[in-house]
């Protein structure tokens, strides 16, 4: 089984170092100053981008591995189809071979029946008879025999010659048998050709079968690598997503702080306006009572619209 460590080493993939991750605690989020939060947001953003890049690289390698897996599966399927096609041809040649062998057997059975009819299966063949005659003639020529023994030998030679001639005459009259034997041998030869084709095609089919098995095995190995790479992708993507979520939380907190500052500044300005108005009204009252106003007092009245 392929492990993540195997894939990291095989495909030169950067290992995710968790010590480089940025941690966001509730205390940092709630109690951190604006400056601290801005700095933290930058760290979260940078780490998120780094992790997204890492996840993208792992996803790309995973997709490449999945593509190679599909290529191997397609290759295996091609070998499967070729194997099946060859096996069909094997079956066709087997059927033809068996058909021809059955026909040849029938023809050879007919040959045997015809030989029996011609009595060619009984006794010795011509070559054997000819050899026996030669041996008897050689004995007659080389041995010193009595008159009676020589007469018996001559009779025996004559008997063998008659047997030889009788058998030769039968064979000479058996042209139909020879034709039948020739036909049977031709059919048997054709059956042998189909048998040879069966052997060749079966060997080729087996080779495609072996290549199919090997391609499926390689596809399984690459698929395991792709699955391990996907786990590495998920690891990086989940870490990137967490950093993005924390980045968004910090950004939201910064907006809250900005809004809070704006409200405080608005309240402060409002308070200043109220104080200025009260002061201006006091000055205006003094003016109405006939007191002399200096330049600063006059400017305060003008600023509040009381003058």
Whether 128 maps to a domain, the answer reads: yes
Is pLDDT at 1 greater than 80 in this prediction? no
The mean pLDDT of 150-179, rounded to a whole number, is 77
Burial of 205 (0-12, 13-18, 19+ CB in 10 A): buried
Contact 224, 7 (CB under 8 A): no
Give the global pTM: 0.64
Mean pLDDT of all residues in the chain? 87
| Domain interval for residue 144 | 122-173
From 137, 135, 160, 161, select the one nearest 150 (Cα to Cα).
137
Question: Is residue 179, in this structure, part of any structural domain at all?
Answer: no
Q: Are 187 and 100 in contact (CB under 8 A)?
A: yes
DSSP-assigned letters across all residues of 153-198: HHHHHHHHHHHHHHHHHHHHT-HHHHHHHHHHHHHHHHHHHHHHHH
251 against 5, higher pLDDT:
251
Residue holding tokens 């106003």? 293
**Dist. CA 182–CA 184, nearest whole Å:** 5
Is 232 in contact with 13 (CB distance < 8 Å)?
A: yes
Residue 49's nearest CA partner among 203, 241, 271, 252 is: 241
- Is 32 domain-assigned? no
How many structural domains are present in the chain? 1
Lowest mean pLDDT among 33-42, 56-65, 291-300: 291-300
- Dihedral sign for Cα atoms in the order 268, 271, 275, 277: positive
Q: How confident is the model at residue 68 (pLDDT cuts 50, 70, 90)?
A: very high
Decide if 146 is inside a domain.
Answer: yes
pLDDT attached to residue 299: 77
**Coil, strand, or helix at residue 133?**
helix
Task: Identify the band that residue 220 occupies on the pLDDT scale cut at 50, 70 and 90.
Answer: very high
Q: pLDDT tens digits, residue range 244-280?
A: 999 999 999 999 999 988 888 888 888 878 777 777 6
Which pLDDT does position 5 carry in this prediction?
84
Domain contains 75? no
Give mean pLDDT, residues 222-235: 95
What φ, ψ does residue 24 adopt, rounded to 5°? -115, 115
Instruction: State the Cα–Cα distance between residues 35 and 28, nearest whole angstrom.
Output: 12
Q: Does some domain include residue 156?
A: yes
Categorize the per-residue pLDDT at 82 as very low, low, confident or very high, splitting at 50, 70 and 90.
very high
Residue 160 falls inside a structural domain: yes
- 155 found inside a domain: yes
- Confidence band of 38 (pLDDT split at 50, 70, 90): very high
- The set of residues, in sequence order, having a beta carbon less than 8 Å from that of 58 and lying 6+ positions away, is 13, 229, 232, 233, 236
| 1 vs 264 pLDDT, higher one | 264
């Amino acid at each position: 089984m392929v492990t993540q460590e195997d894939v990291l080493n095989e495909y030169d993939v950067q290992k995710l170092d968790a010590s480089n991750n940025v941690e966001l605690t509730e205390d940092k989020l709630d109690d951190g100053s604006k400056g601290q939060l801005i700095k933290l947001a930058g760290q979260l953003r940078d780490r998120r981008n780094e992790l997204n890049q890492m996840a993208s690289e792992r996803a790309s390698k995973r997709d490449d591995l999945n593509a190679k897996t599909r290529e191997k599966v397609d290759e295996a399927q091609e070998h499967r189809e070729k194997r099946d096609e060859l096996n069909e041809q094997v079956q066709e040649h087997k059927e033809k071979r068996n058909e021809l062998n059955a026909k040849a057997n029938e023809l050879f059975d007919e040959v045997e029946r015809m030989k029996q009819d011609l009595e060619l299966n009984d006794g010795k063949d011509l070559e054997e008879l000819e050899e026996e005659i030669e041996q008897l003639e050689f004995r007659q020529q080389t041995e010193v025999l009595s008159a009676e023994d020589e007469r018996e030998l001559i009779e025996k030679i004559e008997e063998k010659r008659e047997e030889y001639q009788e058998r030769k005459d039968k064979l000479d009259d058996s042209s139909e048998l020879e034709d039948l034997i020739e036909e049977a041998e031709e059919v048997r030869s054709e059956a042998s050709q189909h048998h040879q084709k069966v052997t060749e095609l079966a060997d080729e089919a087996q080779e495609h079968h072996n290549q199919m098995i090997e391609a499926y095995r390689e596809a399984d190995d690459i698929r395991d690598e792709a699955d391990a790479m996907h786990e590495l992708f998920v690891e990086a993507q989940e870490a990137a997503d967490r950093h993005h979520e924390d980045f968004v939380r910090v950004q939201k907190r910064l907006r809250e702080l900005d809004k809070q500052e704006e409200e405080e500044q608005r309240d402060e300005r409002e308070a200043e306006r109220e104080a200025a108005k009260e002061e201006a009204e006091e000055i205006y009252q003094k003016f109405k009572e006939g007191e002399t106003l200096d330049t600063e007092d006059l400017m305060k009245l003008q600023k509040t619209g009381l003058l």
